[in-house]
Structure 1
Amino acid sequence: MTKQAGSYFTVDLHLHTNRGSSDSNLAPKDLVDRARAIGIGAVCITEHDNMWDSREMAAMAGDSGIVFLRGMEVTTDMGHVGAFGLERYVGGIYKLAELRRVIDLEGGILIANHPFRYKLDPRFS
């Protein structure tokens, strides 16, 4: 497959930093530098069960040329779910049905971050 002519925009909606997750070894500044180096136009830092303050995200973005979006990877009874549109963690959203209810009220969206993580690995079946 060949690349289409014209401009395109890339977004990564599931990133962590070493400040908010043991899943990452990237410091926030390194994440910005790496995204810029590989041409990612926008990033959404989705730490586990916590969100970055919008002022901190704006400061981190600075003049990097990278668009920063806010999200959260919520640990639920059905696995990890990316939640977009919340301002903070809300008690009770560890139950997926409650997370769905809350996100609908806020007009946000949910994305299954790694939906078949343990189903496809024979070690966990």
Structure 2
Amino acid sequence: MIIDFHMHERTFSSDSQMNLKEMVFEAKRKGLDGICITDHDEYGLAEYAMKLSKIENFPIFVGVEYLSIEGDIVAFGINDLPKRHLSAQEFIDWVNNRGGVCIAAHPFRNNSRGLEENLLTIKGLTGIEVLNGSTSNAANLKAMEYCMKLELQPIGASDCHNLISLGRYATNVPMECKTVEDLVEALKTVKCEPVILSGYKKLEL
């Protein structure tokens, strides 16, 4: 399955221009097999996304982009958020203890929201975004180097806030996923591959 792992919908992400129906239509048009909604510190879209997913017969996986003290982390497999602001390690432990998974979002983007060198000391990450559509090529390449060194899942994601950039980068998940639980299991057990959507060109690792 080709899945975009990092997307923002306008209901709970004020910096997004897209509603969920538009996102599903565009994702289908561009050849995606599923999308992930990862709003900033918010799970409010989960119920509606589940209903729309059934109506459209199209997988919509709701996660979250959590701003830890050190930087942004995308998480799947949890249904709520901590009551206090946590460090990256505390949040990763919190998610892992609940059966979820964590992915370092754009770790080297130049906006003080990436984990950067903390990747070397933090334990328990499942993956790293090595292709992020809102991040420079240089920062993505550095993320790839760290991902390979740490032997984590390499993730591609558009980090889109508009329909034009939706699906720019995505991830090939070589198993069928219908629920968030399926997606979590795939991330834990299957080697994913980041892809450039046009022509499904695979990134050479």
Provide the residue aligned with 1:103 in structure 2: 95
Give the gaps of 5 or more residues in structure 1.
1-8
One-letter amino acid of the counterpart of residue 106, structure 1: R
Other-structure match for 2:107: 115
1:59 and 2:54 matched: no
Contact 2:41–2:66 (CA<8 Å) still a contact in 1? yes
Q: What amino acid sits opposite 1:10 in the alignment?
A: I
TM-score (norm 1): 0.80
* Counterpart AA for 1:82: V
> Bigger CA drift: 99-108 or 61-70?
61-70
* 3-state DSSP of counterpart to 1:33: helix
More helix by share: 2
CA shift digits 1:16-68 (9 cap, x unpaired): 01111133211121111111111111111000001135431122224323201
The equivalent position to 2:34 in structure 1, one of 23, 33, 42, is 42
Counterpart of 1:14 in 2: which secondary structure?
strand
With normalisation by structure 2, the TM-score equals 0.51
Q: Distance in 2 between matches of 1:93 and 1:108?
A: 18
**Partners of 2:49 and 2:60 within 8 A in 1:** yes
Contact 2:69 2:85 in 1 (8 A): no
Q: Give the number of the structure with larger relative contact order, counting CA–CA contacts within 8 Å between residues 6 or more apart.
A: 2
In the other structure, the counterpart of 2:62 is 70
Contact 1:74 1:94 in 2 (8 A): no
Runs of 4+ off more than 6 Å: none
Residue 10 (structure 1) aligns with: 2
> Which is worse superposed, 23-32 or 56-65?
56-65
- Specify the alignment match of 1:31 in structure 2: 23
Distance 2:59 2:77 in 1: 16
User: Which consecutive residues of structure 2, in runs of 5 or more, have no partner in the other structure?
Assistant: 111-115, 117-134, 137-205
| C-alpha distance in 2 between matches for 1:45 and 1:25 | 14
